[in-house]
Amino acid sequence: MEERVRVLIIGSGPAGYTAAIYASRANLKPVLYEGIEPGGQLTTTTDVENFPGHPDSVSGPDLMGLMRRQAERFGADIRTGNVTRADLSSRPFHVVIDGEKEIKAETLIIATGATAKYLGLPSETKFRGQGVSACATCDGFFYRKKDVAVVGGGDTACEEATYLASLCRKVYLIVRKPHLRASKAMQQRVFNTPNIEVLFEHNTAEVLGDDSGVTGALLRRNDGSERKIDIAGFFLAIGHHPNTELFAEQLALDAEGYIKVEPGTSKTSVEGVFAAGDVKDPHYRQAITAAASGCVAALDCERFLLQ
């Protein structure tokens, strides 16, 4: 049976929950579907030390739990479920949850986030969860006093490498270019950490392992020569791709698939559809910027409904 809602929020990270808080306080009775990762990427992190108001840090899952409770306190209807189809060709928008439940939404706030990229090696897929990870802060603990590798040359890779260096015996940073793309401050931190070895102009040819999980990696230098390193953990830090597949043919996206919004707003190319968080932010990807954009989306949505 079809249901009608004024505001439908898709996604449940800092952007989705903040949008729900603001929309609820505006008495818009928002319905939020949490998606396949309730709480978003932050639920896979340990201590969050840069979210204002938490001077002693807060765990990612705890922070998301607090945001969820706050949204529910003001009346947000938060549900488990994944949007499997969305038709934005006319208002109200037609959205299908888990392939069966149908919803007609007057407005839509998309906060579906972004997902970590992998290299695409069969061996990498084989050992995912058995030594291959895309989140150092989630899984680093398992590799205390062991040797690990991080793939990537940007800020995220450098951040993950220095984090792992505080736990692990040795960290290899595998960089395919002859230089790091990271900010000067992050580069300095890497070069000043004695147990990080940067391997410039190297690519991963294969992740090696056995029944116990990852045991090493076969690296190929840009000159064609090969080198094997012994590691217990293999961490990816090569970027993210936005979760916009549902909207690919319906909304204006940039070259990387992020939703385009009018500068200074959350407005997408379709009237009544708003975007918030990492799904439209290829640059910052922080909890605080995602939360702020969730606020913007709810306010834009409220103004749109008042027209």
Does residue 139 carry a catalytic annotation?
Answer: yes
In this structure, are residues 207 and 132 in contact, taking their beta carbons and an 8 Å threshold?
A: yes
Pairing mode of beta strands 170-175, 196-200: parallel
Q: Return the exposure string of 238-250: e unless at least 16 CB atoms fall within 10 Å of the residue's CB, then b.
A: bebebbbebbeeb
**Active-site annotation holder among 135, 155, 230, 295:** 135
Tokens of 64: 């998301």
Tokens of 83: 């949007």
**Active-site annotation holder among 139, 147, 278, 281:** 139
Work out the number of other CB atoms within 10 angstroms of the CB of residue 307. Answer: 5
- DSSP letter at 248 equals T
Spatial separation of the C-alpha atoms in residues 13 and 169, rounded to whole Å: 33
Spatial separation of the C-alpha atoms in residues 180 and 200, rounded to whole Å: 8
In this structure, are residues 197 and 173 in contact, taking their beta carbons and an 8 Å threshold?
A: yes
Tokens of 43: 């639920």
Q: Return the exposure string of 23-33: e unless at least 16 CB atoms fall within 10 Å of the residue's CB, then b.
A: bbbbebebbbb
In this structure, are residues 132 and 105 in contact, taking their beta carbons and an 8 Å threshold?
A: no
Pairing mode of beta strands 226-230, 233-236: unpaired
Does residue 158 carry a catalytic annotation?
Answer: no
- Give phi and psi for 119, each to the nearest 5: -75, -30
**Active-site annotation holder among 47, 77, 138, 155:** 138
Helices (H), the chain: 14-25, 60-73, 122-126, 136-139, 155-165, 184-191, 287-306
Q: Which residues are catalytic?
A: 135, 138-139
